[in-house]
Amino acid sequence: MAIKFYGVAVSLPGARVLACLYEKNLEFELVKTAYRSQETKKEAFLSINPFGQIPALEDGDLKIFESRAMTQYLAHAYAEKGNQLVSQDHKKMAIISTWMEVESQKFSDVASKLSHELVMGPASGKTINVEVVRENEEKLAKILDVYEVKLKESKYLAGDYFTLADLHHLPVMHYLMNTKVKALFDERPHVSAWRTEILARVAWKKVVELQAPFFASMGAKN
C-alpha cells in the first residue's frame, strides 16, 4: 500500500486529513503508534516531520506533514480519484485557496479555542474560562455573518461544489455541535444548511466512526 498516514482521528488535523483520504476514496495504512510522543521524537519519524508531530504522511518516497498541505497534495495528485475537491482552473482554484485561507487564518483559531474550552477542557476536568468563551463567541459570530452572505450566493464556500475550503472546517465544527456554540450556526439559515449538509457527508461519517471508540472509553472512565 503506497500511502501511510500517521495520525489519530480525534485530533483536529488528523480528522481533516482522514476526511480527505475518504473523500478521495484512497487506500491507505493508518499508522496509529506514532501518537505516543516518544515515537514521534525518534529519528525514523523525524525524517517525515522534523517537528516530531502527527499527523504526517508518506506516499512512496514523499514525506510530508501539516494537515492542510497533506489535503492539498492528495486532492491535486489524485484529481481523478473520488470526489473533486480542488480545481485545475487557476481562477477557480484562487477562490478555493481564498476560502481555505479564511478557514486557516480566521475560523480555525477562534473555533479551536472554543472547542478547547468547551469540549477538551471539561473532558480533562478543567474549569471553563468564561471570558475566553465570550470573546471567541463574539469573534465567531462576526465570521459567520460573512459566511452567511457568502453561502447565500453559492451553496459551498468556494462555489457550487464541495471543496477543501469546506472540508477543512469539518473537524472542529463537528465538536462544536455538542456545545452552546451550535446556536451561532443554527441562527444563520444558510450557514446552518451548509453545516448540516457537509457534516452528513459519507466520508466525514467514516471519520466520526473512527473517533467513536475514543469517546466511548472516555465515557467509561467518567
> Judged by CB, which is closer to its own copies: 83, or 104?
104
- State the nearest-atom distance from the C-beta of 39 to its own copies, in Å: 18
Residues 6+ apart with CB under 8 A from 4: 28, 29, 31, 57, 58, 59
Among 31, 102, 140, 151, the residue binding its own copies under the rule CB under 8 A is 102
Q: Are 56 and 34 in contact (CB under 8 A)?
A: yes
> Binding pattern to its own copies, positions 149-188, x when CB under 8 A?
xx--------------------------------------
Residue 77: phi and psi, rounded to 5, are -70, -30
| Cα separation values, 121 from 55, 115, 128, 183, 195, Å | 22, 8, 7, 20, 24
Residues between 132 and 151 with contacts to its own copies, criterion CB under 8 A: 146, 149-150
Compute the distance between CA of residue 56 and CA of residue 112 in angstroms, rounded to an integer.
20
Cβ 98 to its own copies, closest distance in Å?
4
Q: Using the rule CB under 8 A, is 221 a contact of its own copies?
A: no
Minimum CB distance to its own copies smaller for 19 or for 201: 19
Alpha-carbon distance 179 to 22, whole Å?
Answer: 26
Encode 144-175: b = buried (16+ Cβ within 10 Å), e = exposed: beebbebbeeeebbbbeebbbbbbbbbbbbbb
Q: Is 84 in the site for its own copies (CB under 8 A)?
A: no
Q: Which stretch binds its own copies (CB under 8 A): 17-25, 57-65, 133-141, 195-203?
A: 57-65
Please identify, among the stretches 16-24, 95-103, 114-122, 191-199, the one whose residues bind its own copies according to the rule CB under 8 A: 95-103
8 A C-beta contact, residue 16 and residue 218: no
**Angle at which helices 12-23 and 202-221 pack, to 10 degrees?**
150
Which of these ranges, 17-25, 31-39, 100-108, 118-126, lies near its own copies under the rule CB under 8 A?
A: 100-108
The footprint of its own copies (CB under 8 A) covers 50-51, 59, 61-62, 64-70, 72-73, 76-77, 90-91, 93-95, 97-98, 100-102, 104-106, 146, 149-150
